[in-house]
Amino acid sequence: MILSESIEDYLKAIYALKKEVGKVVTTQLAERLEVKPASVTGMVRKLADMKLVTYKPYQGVALTKAGQKVALEVIRHHRLLELYLNEIMGLPWDKVHQEAEKLEHAISEELEDRIDQLLGHPTTDPHGSPIPSKAGKVNNSSSKKLSEMKRGEKAKIAEVRDEDSELLRYVGELGLFPGKSFEVVNVAPYKGPMTLKIKSKKIIVGREAAKQILVNKISAWN
């Protein structure tokens, strides 16, 4: 099965939107892929012909088993590449997404396997997103947004949106990397900044940025 770069990107976007908003509609897909809605309609019909998605006009799109398999393969490429570029090659974590976006379509299955091996079969990328296994299993931690946390709650950074380079630089400077534990010591009103404590060091993060950060709560009785 030789699929075009565009097709791979559509399937990936459908997978992501499904995860993020539940339903996948034309306009949102168009916005994410930076094409016009009319183009999405055309492509989605084609994907339906290829049995990669199911599609009912005005109702939305959903991946079939086959479509999901392709999406997960591309996502696996993407996240393995991000981790390799960051960890082994030393590229900053705000640069790797863009690079991986192109490379994900270019690497062979053999190179994918080699990268996986060199990284020791990792399960998360530099931004905390799970790397699907070769077989297509994904660890989907049910995490919540940092922005929704209350004063006094403790949590661990799970995942940071990886598309926005500026956000990543900001968050990186604050030291908010996946895996870091912290406590919310203050939440300013009027959508104001949050103050966090990481190992007795206080840091302040804007509420907008906090919306882009997913965390796993640490239960009080731990």
Q: Near DNA by CB under 7 A, which window of 5-13, 64-72, 182-190, 194-202? A: 5-13
- Fill in the per-residue mask, 48 to 87: x = in contact with its own copies (CB under 8 A), - = not in contact: -------------------------------------x--
Handedness of CA 126, 5, 99, 175 (dihedral sign): negative
Q: Near Mn ion by CB under 5 A, which window of 18-26, 121-129, 166-174, 207-215? A: 121-129
* Candidate residues 1, 2, 22, 57; the one interacting with DNA per rule CB under 7 A: 57
Residue 134 corresponds to which amino acid?
K
* Candidate residues 19, 20, 21, 38; the one interacting with DNA per rule CB under 7 A: 38
Q: Tell me if 98 contacts its own copies by CB under 8 A.
A: yes
How many residues of this chain interact with DNA, rule: CB under 7 A? 27
Q: How far is the CB of 25 from DNA (least distance, A)?
A: 3
With CB atoms as reference, the residue minimizing the distance to Mn ion is 162
Q: Tell me if 169 contacts its own copies by CB under 8 A.
A: no
Return residues touching its own copies (CB under 8 A): 85, 89-91, 95, 98-99, 102-103, 105-108, 110-111, 114-115, 118
